[in-house]
Amino acid sequence: MSAAISLFVFGAVTAALSLQLPLGALRMPGTGFFPLALGLALMALAAGHGIQLYLARPRAPAREAPAAPTAPKGDGATRRVVLFVAGVIAAVALLQPLGYVVSSLLLMLVLLQILGLRPWYALVSIALVSAAASYVVFVRWLQIPLPSGWLF
């Protein structure tokens, strides 16, 4: 449940910070439009996941005394969420010095590694393709000016 709450808070912060940027219109979105949409989508998905976890929790029978509390059995979800957020923060910090392409490539490498993708060549190839595809879509096709670094 803490992972759902953490993701909801991260989405809320993203949405709130995006409101400081110009939103534009649906036909001509500003720089704050996509972060706002992603923040709201993350909040909705996290809320849905939290509700799903709440409804699926085991319930004690009414006649029996509740069992003694035990240590939570973590599956590493909270750790992965914290690592994801740290990876995004690091990518944002590296955006200006390294540029969009390199920072997005590194972000994808980190996120895929956190998810446990194996083997290494699949991890590298997916990160390369996603960084190149996002560069083509945002910079070439949509003509959104993104920070350029020493590579692009």
What is the per-residue pLDDT across 134-148, written as a single tens digit (0 to 9) for each?
Answer: 989 888 888 888 888
27 & 86 share domain:
no
User: For 64-81, what is each residue's pLDDT tens digit?
Assistant: 555 555 545 556 778 888
Kindly state whether residues 80 and 53 are assigned to the same domain: no
| 67 domain residue, yes or no | no
Identify the band that residue 45 occupies on the pLDDT scale cut at 50, 70 and 90.
Answer: very high
Residues 84, 41, single domain; the answer is no
Same domain, residue pair 47 and 85: no
Written as one string, the DSSP assignment of 12-40 is HHHHHHHTTS--B-SSSB-TTHHHHHHHH
Structural domain that includes position 90:
76-152
Residue 65 lies in a domain: no
pTM of full prediction above 0.85: no
Assess whether 39 and 86 both reside in one domain: no
- Going by the DSSP 8-state scheme, the letter that residue 105 receives in this structure is H
Tell me the average pLDDT of the chain: 84
The string of pLDDT tens digits covering residues 93-121 is 888 888 888 999 999 999 999 888 888 88
How far apart CA 152 and CA 141 sit, in angstroms, is 16
Answer yes or no: is 50 within a domain.
yes
Mark whether 47 and 101 lie in a shared domain. Answer: no
> Within the chain, where are the H helices?
2-18, 33-56, 77-98, 100-115, 120-135
Query: Two tokens at 109?
Result: 């490498």
In a domain, 64, yes or no: no
Model pLDDT, residue 141: 86
pLDDT score for 71:
47
Calculate the CA dihedral of residues 63, 69, 46, 105 and round it to 10 degrees: -150
Residues 54 and 95 in one domain: no
pLDDT score, position 75: 63
pLDDT value for 64: 58
Domain count along the chain: 2
Is 69 domain-assigned?
A: no
